[in-house]
Amino acid sequence: MGPLIVNEIISENANMLMAFIIGIGFGFVLESNGFSSSRRLAGMFYGYDGTVLKVFFTAAIVGALGLLFLSLFGQIDLNFIYINPTYLYSALGGGVIMGVGFILGGYCPGTSFCAAAIGKLDAMVFIGGIFIGIFVFTEGFPLWEEFFYAKNLGAPLMSDVLGTSRGVFTLLLILVALGMFWVSEWAEKRFARADYKLNQKEIKF
């Protein structure tokens, strides 16, 4: 749990226990927000339900502000946070493939397991597709290895790309999120469906 281990506030075993508890809490939050429903998830792309956008933008803001304040109080060094390298072409290609799969199947990898945990058959089929995709990608990797590693940009931060501080970028992110919240509210009214009730507890197929 970040600075808690570095400062020897908790042990490695306590860290694993906390990770387990947080994981359960994350799954509970997903289910509570209806993320086990493929209709709710797909609704982001069709405009009639912006819950996914709202929840993940909120999570990004909370995470960014949390890291900034931990850094401000000397509890974490942001320079030591590992950032995955950016391979531009494979990132774009993978984004397209996942986006198409998201629209067609109604799930992303994480939400499919959330839905499968409560017995959704379509999510279980989706998970089967994930494992098939992993197998095909792994076994056929030599065929697209060059494409996968093409256009290596290192590990750039958006704040560096924009030439701003992390604090200013976080402020911009909050403003963008507020704008997107407004857009999603407008879209939910503009593309509302008679067979879909927004924010109801149980969304039927």
The rounded mean pLDDT for the chain is 86
Query: Structurally, how many domains does the chain consist of?
Result: 1
What's the rounded mean pLDDT across residues 174-200?
88
Whether residue 19 is contained in a domain is answered as: yes
Q: Where are the beta strands (DSSP E) in the chain?
A: none
Judged against a pLDDT cut of 80, whether residue 43 lies above it is answered with yes
What pLDDT was estimated at residue 146? 93
The pLDDT confidence band at residue 157, using thresholds 50, 70 and 90, is confident
- Tokens (6 digits) for 109: 């990898």
Whether residue 145 is contained in a domain is answered as: yes
The pLDDT confidence band at residue 93, using thresholds 50, 70 and 90, is very high
Whether residue 14 is contained in a domain is answered as: yes
- The Cα 137–Cα 203 span in angstroms is 34
The domain containing residue 50 runs over which residues?
A: 3-190
Whether residue 7 is contained in a domain is answered as: yes
DSSP 3-state assignment of 202?
coil
What's the rounded mean pLDDT across residues 30-49?
86
| Spatial CB neighbours of 125, under 8 Å, sequence gap ≥ 6 | none
- Tokens (6 digits) for 128: 């089967």
Yes or no: say if 133 and 141 are a contact pair by the CB < 8 Å rule. Answer: no
Whether residue 203 is contained in a domain is answered as: no
One-letter amino acid at 47 equals G
Yes or no: say if 188 and 197 are a contact pair by the CB < 8 Å rule. Answer: no
> Whole-model pTM above 0.85?
no
